[in-house]
A and B are shown apart, each in its own frame.
Chain A
């Protein structure tokens, strides 16, 4: 599986936007970029995913670089409830036998302060 690189931790103030970066320079042309988050003592939770175009949903926005070697998860207004570990994951293409396998890295611990 192609690898992703994320900062170990980031801090934000409540009500401010947060930009969580992810580098994936070895991404293949058919890999989807997924973001999950894990709140304390809970299971991972799907946030958003994309392939080439930027994506928006009720939780966040995903900005994908034109060369697809990096992406940024954007939380428009961070709240205390957004404090979690955020994982950027490349989903191996089913065309190469990856199926629905998601390989988690170490993620970014987001701390949100008042």
Chain B
């Protein structure tokens, strides 16, 4: 079983559309993240949730809305897609902040490549 799974793997859509990317982890972790990797390969954190509570929000436009129905899932909804949203989006998870050595380690999904035309 894949530890951190994202769907879809590829997503091609038109500007102005609304789309969602789903993420699920089966590691029993309490903390989940969304990272964005742009065309220049820079990886930037967008959001982090700890047990369904938002703990990191890195100046991301309001068009991006993460939703965590439970601690095993963190979905990313994007409204009014723009060309600049084209990127690979990575979901990740880790043990809760501060809980032993495991808290240091993030497990990433394989990524979801979003292309906005």
Which A residues are closer than 8 A to B by beta carbons?
32, 34, 36, 41-46, 49, 85, 87, 91, 94, 99-104, 106
Contacts and interface: CB of A to CB of B under 8 A. Distances in A.
Interface of B: 4, 31, 33, 35, 41-45, 48, 55-56, 90, 92, 94, 97-98, 103-111
A32 B104 contact: yes
Given A43-B109, A91-B104, A100 B97 contact: yes
B90 A44 contact: yes
- Which label, helix, strand, loop or mixed, suits the secondary structure of the B interface? strand
A102 B41 CA distance: 15
Contacts of A45: 108
29 contacts: A34-B104, A42-B110, A42-B111, A43-B4, A43-B92, A43-B108, A43-B110, A44-B43, A44-B106, A44-B108, A45-B108, A46-B107, A49-B105, A87-B43, A94-B97, A94-B98, A99-B48, A99-B55, A99-B56, A99-B97, A100-B48, A100-B94, A100-B103, A101-B56, A103-B45, A104-B35, A104-B42, A104-B43, A106-B41
